Amino acid sequence: MTHPDIGARTAGRRIGLLALALAVAGAVLLPLMRPLLPVDETRYLTVAWEMHRDGTYLVPHLNGAIYGHKPPLLFWLINLVWAVTGVSEAAARWVAPAFGALSVALTWRLGNRLFPEREGLGARAALVLATTGVFALYGSLTMFDTMLTSATLLGVLALLWMDDGGGWRAVGLLGLTLAFGVLAKGPVILVHLLPLALTRPLWTRATEDRGRWYLSLLAGIGIALGLLSLWLGPALLLGGAEYRAEVLWRQSAGRMVNAFDHARPVWFFVAALPLMLWPWAWRVSALRGLGSPGLWQDRRARILAIWGLSTLALFSMISAKQLHYLLPALPAVAIALAAAPAPRPGRGAPLAAAMVIVPVLVWAVLLATGRARLGGYPVTTMGMPGLALSLALGIAGLALLAVAGRRAPLLGWALVTPVSLLVMHVALMKPLDEHFDTTRFATELTRAPHAGVAVDGFRYQGEFGFTARLLAPVDEIAPGGLDAWAQAHPGGLIISTQPTDPGFPKVGEGFLEGKLVRLYRLP
């Protein structure tokens, strides 16, 4: 006869492995189902490409100019992968999502670390995180937030280890984690970790002198600064005053005080919570469980509350706001939701299934009536094959959720996001290619490496650098400067969004982010 603890441990392991499998599948497959999305993904791969092309490993560059908007870790890792695979778009696009899968694994570890007496809780938390819609979607993009999420999870584990008397090894892990976080996305790692570290008296079981704890924190920060100086010192010298101002002020404190991009009202994140926590926070039983007064008497619940709520509060006060800024706090919510009562068999399956089929049906109706929009412009290019396939997948997903939800409610809810993302990616595959894929222009762009390439009518942000493997910077034509540039670059190529025809031979056109882009070859 199987011992109950062994059975629970086996079930937990299966749930955790399912969470990792879903995370890895999303990380591998979703990037292959869509083009590089401008301007973020194309820009970051262009920075990595210029680092590879020019050997500028200490100070990243974009279009030949110093790029201080983000630290270099992602670009280093992409180049490390390219050193093995050669320059490959697919390989580069799997780097950032790999940290999403790592974050799922670390959530599994942290959940077990916090609740060792509740077998399988860490695995359930990992499944919740892997199948939270916002995390699964942003985790498949070439961005920095999954790296920051991994750094935050490692930092929380380091703080717990320090609290349990881990000594200098725990302090060293904290220092490594802080350095990792800064290299991933900058000093914002402190926003995620410092509130929990500074409020230790509210959640600790230890009775030791508080002064020793705060000295350990300072030591961890000192270790991080020492590690960062190995890169930052030479980089600041090479980058000059412009790079110093960008890295040390504008991209950290500057965004917090007065956003030059993505400025939104203070209530933005609170209003976005239903979307951020879809579908798991839509479970009535989970929300009811989170409202239990006894739950918050547990010190571990206080850890999760301080971590999650402080992140929400601090980022609400920061001027710049984007949904993905809160990704590093989602593991705290995932563990809390996993600790809430599980759905009963046979309950919630219809709602879980409806979360898939209703968006699909709405999308089909919008397409059929010509009212579907993507990025602010109409989508009329999906075609009947894509519509039929997406509807078929939606109906199959509905059946799968209905069956799985009745037998294993947790599995039913876990499949909502994967099925939804698969259906929507299939539905949007053709529109995304036609409106966002910059590789369509690559052939013409590579024909003018010496004559020069310029853009007219919009600000160039690296949209074509990687996809066309450009070997020289792209010029931006100032208003009224078209004729002068054309005279100086015979045989050059102009990428224009201007509505007027400049009179040069047109060699191609297509949409880019809702704008009609025309390519002109100079005689």
Whole-number pLDDT of residue 252 = 57
Q: Is the pLDDT of residue 91 over 90?
A: yes
- Comparing 40 with 393, which gets the higher pLDDT? 40
Whole-number pLDDT of residue 363 = 62
Tell me the three state secondary structure of residue 480. Answer: coil
Q: Is the pLDDT of residue 429 over 50?
A: yes
Q: Is the pLDDT of residue 207 over 80?
A: no
Whole-number pLDDT of residue 375 = 52
Query: For 214-238, what is the mean pLDDT?
Result: 92
Whole-number pLDDT of residue 364 = 60
Q: Is the pLDDT of residue 327 over 50?
A: yes
Q: Is the dihedral of CA 144, 276, 418, 395 positive or negative?
A: negative
- pTM for the whole structure: 0.89
Q: Is the pLDDT of residue 400 over 50?
A: yes
pLDDT band at 251 (very low <50, low <70, confident <90, very high): low
pLDDT band at 357 (very low <50, low <70, confident <90, very high): low
**Which DSSP string do the residues of 67-134 spell out, in sequence order?**
--SS-SHHHHHHHHHHHHH-S-HHHHHTHHHHHHHHHHHHHHHHHHHH-TTSTTHHHHHHHHHHT-HH
pLDDT band at 2 (very low <50, low <70, confident <90, very high): very low
- Spell out the residues 6+ positions from residue 472 whose beta carbon is closer than 8 angstroms to its own: 64, 449, 452, 453
pLDDT band at 385 (very low <50, low <70, confident <90, very high): low
Whole-number pLDDT of residue 426 = 79
Whole-number pLDDT of residue 40 = 92
pLDDT band at 211 (very low <50, low <70, confident <90, very high): confident
Whole-number pLDDT of residue 1 = 41
Whole-number pLDDT of residue 405 = 56
Q: Is the pLDDT of residue 193 over 90?
A: yes
pLDDT band at 21 (very low <50, low <70, confident <90, very high): very high
- Spell out the residues 6+ positions from residue 460 whose beta carbon is closer than 8 angstroms to its own: 63, 474, 476
Query: For 145-162, what is the mean pLDDT?
Result: 97
Q: Is the pLDDT of residue 498 over 50?
A: yes
Residue 351 one-letter amino acid: L
> Which of 107-121, 423-437, 493-507 is modeled with the greatest confidence?
107-121
Q: Is the pLDDT of residue 391 over 70?
A: no
Q: Is the dihedral of CA 499, 505, 510, 511 positive or negative?
A: negative
Averaged pLDDT of the chain: 83
Q: Is the pLDDT of residue 487 over 80?
A: yes
- Comparing 455 with 242, which gets the higher pLDDT? 455
**Residue 491: which of 463, 460, 454, 516 has the closest Cα?**
454
Cα(212)–Cα(203) distance, rounded to whole angstroms?
16
**Residue 331: which of 126, 191, 184 has the closest Cα?**
126
Q: Is the pLDDT of residue 98 over 90?
A: yes
Query: For 271-292, what is the mean pLDDT?
Result: 77
**Residue 354: which of 389, 395, 408, 386 has the closest Cα?**
395
Q: Is the pLDDT of residue 184 over 80?
A: yes
Query: For 413-423, what is the mean pLDDT?
Result: 82
Query: For 109-117, what is the mean pLDDT?
Result: 93
Whole-number pLDDT of residue 354 = 63
Cα(210)–Cα(12) distance, rounded to whole angstroms?
37
Cα(122)–Cα(125) distance, rounded to whole angstroms?
5
Taking the domains of the chain in order of start, what are their residue ranges?
4-34+94-261, 349-429, 440-521
- Comparing 88 with 377, which gets the higher pLDDT? 88
Tokens at 373, concatenated: 């929009």
Percentage of residues in the chain with pLDDT exceeding 70?
78
